[in-house]
Amino acid sequence: MRHKFPGLLKDKTAAGSTRWRVRVEGQPNRKIRIPMGPGEPGFHEHYWAARAGDQIQTVKPKTATPRSLDALVERYLDHLAAKVERGQASPLTLKGHRSLLTRALEVTDPEGDRMGSLDADMPTAAFLHMRDAFPSGAGHNLVKALRAAYAFGVERDLVASADPVRAVRREHRSGGGAVAWSVDDFRRFVAHHRPGTTARLWLMLSLNVLPRIGDVPGLGWQHLNEGILFYQPEKRGSAPVSVPLLGWTREELERHPGTKGGPFIRTESGKPFRSPEALRNRIQKWTASAKLPKGRTQHGVRKGAAALLVAAGANQYEVMAVMAHTEAKTSEIYTRSAERARLAAAGIARLDSLNLEKVDHDDSSVVHISNKSQ
């Protein structure tokens, strides 16, 4: 892309985010990174400073200013980390809130100041500004994290009120979430990954237990007793899962004797996966090699298998038990469309019982279609 600003460079980082850099005038091999591009508040100040060889510092200070957003977020995250240590909060919540809030602190206001450096008692417009700096889904989650931080702050007199952030709508235009695997996806995967492969074992286990990605690396022989797989999902509030080991899962496990005594799913070198992220990356490689469409994930297996359960006749409460849901409305997401299809089929079948040749007309000219048995 061409710009009218000499020495301005735009490229992508390895993570896919946009990066702006400026060549120092007279030193073409020296580049200074700036936090925004043309048209954004503070751009001209950062651009001309970089051209002159200077970099305006917008980083978080080592010590947060009292009553600032930096200070509030720091106290909140410390509090949340302590709750995780005591088993009162999920590590996933801490990870998500830390990532979102840390990024929000670095958003700059129209004058070019870091939001984290400002007084924590902000108007609603400030929270809207931070929310709108994120993509829709991330902005939705950021508002949730900010509300939690401000609720914490109000209780400890760190901020005057949480009302301004509560007034922000958590805009979220759902993209439908993870793509549910289709029957064809399942068939293509098992056709490509033959018996004895880790990829096949992963799918067999995933269909058997319907776990979340965070639970898979730790699932192992310690959870299997007399043909029953029992484990407590990591996600806070999840119900325990207890399901029988299916025949095809048992057959596949027998092809992996090296897993005895430890986790079921191993790397190519026979070691357990070190994190859910490492397994997630491996799943992407397995699905790509099977030529499945992009976006087929662990959660997509979970959604696709839930739909298969319903298609096989499972009711909402059976799906709840298998998927470790504690509220029927969660499982209803998976059962609603299939249930509607069954009801529609049953409803349309009732037309078969009607005698269209026998109709009655009353005084108001309403046509009644009589049942054959009448």
Q: Which residue has the higher pLDDT, 53 or 363?
A: 53
Residue 217 burial by CB count (10 A; 0-12/13-18/19+): exposed, middle or buried? Answer: buried
Whether the pLDDT of residue 60 is over 80: the answer is no
The per-residue pLDDT for 359 is 43
Whether the pLDDT of residue 253 is over 80: the answer is yes
Question: In 3D, which of 257, 225, 221 has the Cα closest to residue 243?
Answer: 225
Cβ neighbours, 10 Å, residue 123: 10
Whether the pLDDT of residue 56 is over 90: the answer is no
Q: Which residues on neighbouring strands pair with residue 44, listed in sequence order?
A: none
Task: Report pTM.
Answer: 0.51
CB 259 within 8 A of CB 253: yes
DSSP state of 26: T
DSSP E strands, 204-262: 224-225, 228-231, 241-244
Cβ neighbours, 10 Å, residue 29: 6
Mean pLDDT of 200-214: 90
pLDDT digits (tens, 9 = 90+) for 344-369: 555 545 545 545 445 444 444 333 33
Look at residue 80 and give its three-state secondary structure.
helix
How many Å apart are CA 166 and CA 154, to the nearest integer?
Answer: 12
CB 136 within 8 A of CB 173: yes
With pLDDT > 70 as the criterion, what percentage of the chain qualifies?
77
pLDDT digits (tens, 9 = 90+) for 178-197: 788 988 899 899 999 999 99
Enumerate residues 6+ apart whose C-beta is below 8 A from 188: 290, 291, 292
Enumerate residues 6+ apart whose C-beta is below 8 A from 135: none
pLDDT digits (tens, 9 = 90+) for 229-252: 898 988 877 878 888 888 889 999
Q: Which residue has the higher pLDDT, 169 or 316?
A: 169
